[in-house]
Structure 1
Amino acid sequence: MPPATCSSAMTPPSRRAPSRTPPARAHDEHSVGWLPPGSPRWRALRKVCSAELFAPRRVDAHRSLRCDKVRRLASHVARLARKGVAVDVGRAAFTTVLNLLSCAIFSTDLADLDDRGASGALKGVIEEFTAAVGVPNVSDFFPLLAPLDPQRLRTRVGRVFDRLHAILDEQIERRMQERAAGEPPKNDFLDLLLDYRGAEDGQGFGRQTLLSLLTDLFSAGSDTSAATVEWAMAELLQNPSSMVKAQHELAQVIGSKQEIEENDIGQLKYLQAIVKETFRLHPPVPLLLPHQAETATEIRGYTVPRGARVLVNVWAIGQDPELWSEPEKFMPERFLEKEMDFRGKDFELLPFGSGRRICPGMPLADRMVHLMLATLLHRFEWRLPADAGKNRVDMSENFGMILGLATPLQAIAKPI
């Protein structure tokens, strides 16, 4: 899909299409990801996320929290390095982002970097959730089959929702009991959600709406950022000259300073290019959430009927030889030569979508991905385990709603 076509498909007259997966636990009726844009509930959920959790002032206020989580990530990697144990890069990045979100929302960590069981189990639930949601649903093409659930998707998705909701509901219930007992407020995002009252109707969010919103935040926020860091490290291990350039830039800009600050990222042009190239080759969400034509429209000579679902294939855009020279190659240098960002204005690079449907968590993901990757490269040298063999990194993809590595990346770190 050329950028001009993509722009036409993602601007009115279109809206977010209904869920492509079988309805489970009424998630499609409460999720900001699936509700029609402009509906009262969508506006309320979008507003509370954009104005509170992801607002610039909130993101800035959580800077020390991000630094603390990345500091803990570096300490975890250092402990493994001293033991000569390989780092599970994706799991470490996932746990770091998960705990950042959980501290901002619940004021507590949900996982432990050094406890593979706990963080691995939660990562497994979220991965199963995104995998189940990403399965093509036969009933979309043959609606008469929907009541039969021929792929057993309704059962599978419902089971995953139950597991994830149980984890999140435990946090909600604990907070409500604390409030009932008169404990002082934590003034985090959960307190804000529980206190919310709509300007139009004075109503708060129900329990199901809270669970759906939290499901959206944790599934979309943790796995996507972790996958990007893991893909970037995999590409750098496959392309050591790029890793050397990144570390040389870090040495020049950061010097002997151990901890990288967010203000430093703007000077790290090659690191930024690495992240953009990773987004191009391995977009965390290869197919953006579907849009639906509100009226019949024409795009590049084709009539798109009213009600048709439109999928934007971000992965295919990144592989288009008309847009990118040698698109199969990892070449961060291409972004040093052109002014392009991933914030929704350049339709050649859309990892977060565009327009009013753009991912509201983009500012947070942008900061965390760069900060984690910069810290891993500045503090450590990296190599593959001895048993990696001639094939080096297994770059095969695990396709689902989130595009991850099929085989988790294991790498040996050595403190610099």
Structure 2
Amino acid sequence: MEMISKPFLLASLLPLLTWLLSRLLSASHRKNNAGGQGRRSIPSPPALPVVGHLHLLKKPLHHSLAALAKRYGGDDAGAGLLLLKFGSKPVVLVTSPAVAGECFTAHDVALADRPGLASRRLLTEDCPAIAMCNYGPLWRQLRRLATVHALCAHRLAATAAVRDAGARAMAASLWRRAAGAGVAAVPVPVKAAAYEFVVDVIMDVVAGEHMTEEQVRRFKEMTEAAFAAAGAANRHDFLPALRLLDFGRTAKRLAAIAKARHRFGQSLIDDYRRRHPRFASELETPRTVIGDLLRQQQEGSREPLDDVVIRSVCLSLLQAGTDTSSSTVEWAMALLLSNLGVLKKATTEIHSVVGTSQLMNESDLARLPYLRCIILETLRLKPLTPNHVPHEASRDCVIAGHTVARGAMVLVDVYSMQRDPTMWEDPEKFMPERFMDADEVDGDGGRFMMPFGLGRRKCPGEGLALRTVGMALGVMLQCFEWSCVGEEVDLSEGSGLTMPMAVPLVALCQPRAEMETLLRSL
């Protein structure tokens, strides 16, 4: 008999060892979960050895999780928790607005960490992202630098002209595309048009220059691949055998994405150094994130400010802001094309407030309440991240009367909460008018919205996102007529950390007759 090779023996025994470890962890978790007087067990579906509940997860993940919560969450609507196992990893799904509020107020610090998943380490170890970084000094430094130099109210006001210029460039690009086609209406991939606008305005703030078309294409592919790999149910993160044998060459693919992120981030810094070899003062060059941080680095700030920190801040701003904002514009346009009455009302508001002789500016957003309601309603129906970036409990805590053990991953079912029929009238209907009452926009009056998260891990880019989406969508509606390519828009949702459209939106774009004089002058 031929001798069994060590790799084969290891691969054969690993599932058994994983199952035994899973049983031990499960027993320990049940013991902790039942500890304490009056503590209740978190509802949980039947699990399989080794894989836990991974076999129950289908794409898109947020639909699958919502269906599990509805089926196994129990009759106690106040519980708001469901316990799952991704391999041996306990995962607590939060399904109630009240419980979500408790998580990110009373237990905000305990749940501020991120799971130590293998995919996250491979992707960001050499260049950590703010959203994925563990809670601690580095995260605080990265978030503070991004806020001070790009995302605070003062910097947003100072960079409004950048977004105005970007909107003019986008309108001119769409006009040239329509004029060059020589037809009444030209098909336009909406997300691609919005993405070009968003990446240009953020790059202008970060580095003071725009990407080439080839750079935009590579950056977009890199970002989408990173988001696809950073989802909450990557099986390689939870099944050691898959990770060890690298089925599907996942580890190599993640390592390649990590190298691409490193090269791109460092190239931004190196290019800036070549363009400004003496690190000119603020008075000599326009302020940019890289310029500010390199000046601090040269002057010797109190805290370490090496190239790793600088490129991490820059990549966080670019990658977090581009895909989510352009996807929101795409979803908003898709919903408008499916609700032509809302589209007409929004266009009428813009033309009555801004007119047709001048292009909309960011300062006009404050006078366009219905446009703002459209964006909020889009974020309600199609949140940026339907389950948010996963949290992890850094210590045992009692949530809604249940013990959540240290090390458990916590997911928040934002998608279902923002469609809760007990809180929203006709929750599946696209109805921006529901936000015309300003008291209900932030959740007052029993409404619940958290598309940007809650607590200390809330997305710091909310202000930038609302301005960017508002400008892109407003200028698109002001200058062009939009219509469906087919009979109706496919509103199916795709898979990923962010929620893309399953079928990217291509819409017919035609310059408005009353805007042609202005468009020709851009």
TM-score (norm 1): 0.89
Question: How far apart in 2 are the matches of 1:135 and 1:217?
Answer: 21
Question: How far apart in 1 are the matches of 2:430 and 2:387?
Answer: 21
Alpha-carbon RMSD: 2.8
Q: Deviations over 1:156-201 (max 9, x none)?
A: 222122223323322222223445x436454421122223359998
Q: Deviations over 1:103-147 (max 9, x none)?
A: 1111110144xxxx6533432221112112126233554457654
Which residue number corresponds to residue 510 of structure 2? 414
Which residue number corresponds to residue 74 of structure 1? 171
1:103 has 2:211 as partner: no
1:47 has 2:162 as partner: no
Among 178, 185, 195, the alignment partner of 1:94 is: 195
Question: How far apart in 2 are the matches of 1:337 and 1:86?
Answer: 36
1:64 has 2:161 as partner: yes
Give the stretch that moved more between structures: 123-132 or 183-192: 183-192
Which residue number corresponds to residue 20 of structure 2? none
Decide whether aligned partners of structure 1 residues 201 and 218 sit closer, same or farther in structure 2, where only a CA change above 3 A counts: closer
Instruction: Return the offset for 1:342.
Output: 5.7
**AA of the residue aligned to 1:376:** M
Q: Deviations over 1:38-61 (max 9, x none)?
A: x22222111111112112111111
Q: Deviations over 1:200-251 (max 9, x none)?
A: 9834333333333333221111010000001000111111111011112222
Instruction: Return the offset for 1:373.
Output: 0.9
Which residue number corresponds to residue 278 of structure 2? 182
Instruction: Return the offset for 1:359.
Output: 1.1
Which of these two proteins has the greater Rg computed from alpha carbons?
Answer: 2
Question: How far apart in 1 are the matches of 2:321 and 2:409?
Answer: 25
Question: How far apart in 2 are the matches of 1:396 and 1:198?
Answer: 50
Native 8 Å contact 1:7 1:347 kept in 2: no
1:33 has 2:131 as partner: yes
Decide whether aligned partners of structure 1 residues 345 and 71 sit closer, same or farther in structure 2, where only a CA change above 3 A counts: farther
Native 8 Å contact 2:382 2:499 kept in 1: yes
Native 8 Å contact 1:196 1:204 kept in 2: no
**AA of the residue aligned to 1:182:** R
**AA of the residue aligned to 1:108:** E
Decide whether aligned partners of structure 1 residues 174 and 251 sit closer, same or farther in structure 2, where only a CA change above 3 A counts: closer
Instruction: Return the offset for 1:281.
Output: 1.0
Instruction: Return the offset for 1:148.
Output: 4.2
Which residue number corresponds to residue 268 of structure 2? 171
Which residue number corresponds to residue 101 of structure 2? 7
Among 238, 241, 248, the alignment partner of 2:341 is: 241
Question: How far apart in 2 are the matches of 1:123 and 1:343?
Answer: 34
Give the stretch that moved more between structures: 403-412 or 199-208: 199-208
Native 8 Å contact 2:419 2:428 kept in 1: yes
Identity of matched residues, %: 32
User: Counterpart of 2:509 in 1: which secondary structure?
Assistant: strand
Q: Gapped runs of 5+ residues in structure 2?
A: 1-94, 513-522
Among 159, 162, 186, the alignment partner of 2:256 is: 159
Which residue number corresponds to residue 311 of structure 1? 411
Instruction: Return the offset for 1:296.
Output: 2.2
Among 487, 491, 499, the alignment partner of 1:395 is: 491
Equivalenced residue count is 406
Question: How far apart in 1 are the matches of 2:396 and 2:237?
Answer: 20
Native 8 Å contact 1:20 1:137 kept in 2: no
Native 8 Å contact 2:387 2:411 kept in 1: yes
Native 8 Å contact 2:494 2:501 kept in 1: yes
Instruction: Return the offset for 1:259.
Output: 1.3
Q: Gapped runs of 5+ residues in structure 1?
A: none
Instruction: Return the offset for 1:30.
Output: 3.2
TM-score (norm 2): 0.72
Question: How far apart in 1 are the matches of 2:299 and 2:415?
Answer: 40
User: Counterpart of 1:16 in 2: which secondary structure?
Assistant: coil
User: Counterpart of 2:498 in 1: which secondary structure?
Assistant: coil
Instruction: Return the offset for 1:339.
Output: 2.6
**AA of the residue aligned to 2:509:** A
